[in-house]
A and B are shown apart, each in its own frame.
Chain A
Amino acid sequence: QSALTQPASVSGSPGQSITISCTGPSSAFGDYNYVSWYQQHPFKAPKLMIYDVNNRPSDVSDRFSGSKSGNTASLTISGLRAEDEAHYYCSSYTNTNTILFGGGTKVTVL
């Protein structure tokens, strides 16, 4: 199964907004809304940031938001802060209930 496609890196200045895209096959995104996003700081376990395309766990800042259009999902970080510098991974279920991850995007705060 092919991984989901993300840009290798995205950068922005403090206070700005950035968007990370995630493109996948129709067998993954299709009519499903099982898209999630994870944040990973160096040498740490991934942390769930967004699930079901645009829902946030209670401990995640509302500066993080998600969306999906067709076979592309997006994560937007508003009001960028230094602590947002990390790798971000998108993930989706497929039509055979397996799980795909994107290759990861490194977010740099300039």
Chain B
Amino acid sequence: QVQLQESGPGLVKPSETLSLTCTVSGGSINSYYWSWVRQSPGKGLEWIGYIYYSGRTNYNPSLKSRVSISIAMSKTQFSLKVNSVTTADTAVYYCARILRLGDPLDIWGQGTVVTVSS
């Protein structure tokens, strides 16, 4: 049973970099796509981007200039960085799996709350 678990600081100061890690357990990180999605308080889901196990990435155009996703296969982890954060980046951040391009996000982590505040 594949499980995903997000981890990282729950509080980030404005203008700094938000960094989160998703650890994959119970299965391989090979051959799949790994995605990040966020949800601002009381709002809907916003896709951030995904990474293929080979390192190829694709990002939401509205976030592309500030976001990067990387993968550490030896650790079965992938990570998210969001630069120059503002209060608008306050959200629950979810990591999720995509089996093949075009497939849905079939397995999700429980989510982690990140608050941007001084």
Which residues of A come within 8 Å of B, CB atoms? 1, 3, 32, 34, 36, 38, 40, 45-48, 51-52, 57, 89, 91, 93, 96-104
- Candidates B44, B61, B62, B111; contact of A45 at CB < 8 Å: B111
With A and B bound together, what is the CA distance between A91 and B50 in angstroms? 15
Report the contact-size class of chain B (Cβ under 8 Å from the partner). Answer: 20 to 34
Q: Which of A34, A96, A103 contacts B44 (CB 8 A)?
A: A103
On whether the beta carbons of A46 and B104 are closer than 8 Å, the reply is: no
Interface string of B25-62 (1 = CB under 8 A from A): 00000000001010000001111001000000011111
Q: What's the nearest-Cβ distance from chain A to residue B113, in Å?
A: 10
- Chain A residues lying within 8 Å of B102, measured Cβ to Cβ, are 32, 34, 93
Contacts of A96 in B (CB 8 A): 58
Closest to B64 in A: A98
Bound form: Cα–Cα A3–B102 in Å? 17
Question: Residues of B contacting A38 with CB < 8 Å?
Answer: 45, 105
Known: A34-B102, A45-B110, A51-B104. A1 touches B45 (CB 8 A): no
Q: What is B's interface to A at a CB cutoff of 8 Å?
A: 35, 37, 44-47, 50, 58-62, 94, 101-106, 108-111
Question: What are 20 sample pairs from A and B whose C-beta atoms fall under 8 A apart?
Answer: A1-B62, A34-B102, A36-B105, A38-B45, A45-B94, A45-B110, A45-B111, A47-B108, A51-B103, A51-B104, A96-B58, A98-B58, A99-B50, A99-B60, A99-B105, A100-B47, A101-B37, A101-B44, A101-B47, A104-B44
Given A1-B61, A45-B110, CB of A98 within 8 Å of CB of B47:
yes
Q: Is the CB of A46 within 8 A of B60?
A: no
Select from chain A the residue with minimum beta-carbon distance to B94.
Answer: A45
CB proximity of A18 to chain B, nearest CB, Å: 19
Q: Do the beta carbons of A91 and B44 come within 8 Å of each other?
A: no
B45–A104 contact, CB under 8 A?
yes
The distance from the CB of A105 to the nearest CB of chain B, in whole angstroms, is 10
Distance (Å) between the CB of A36 and the closest chain B CB? 4
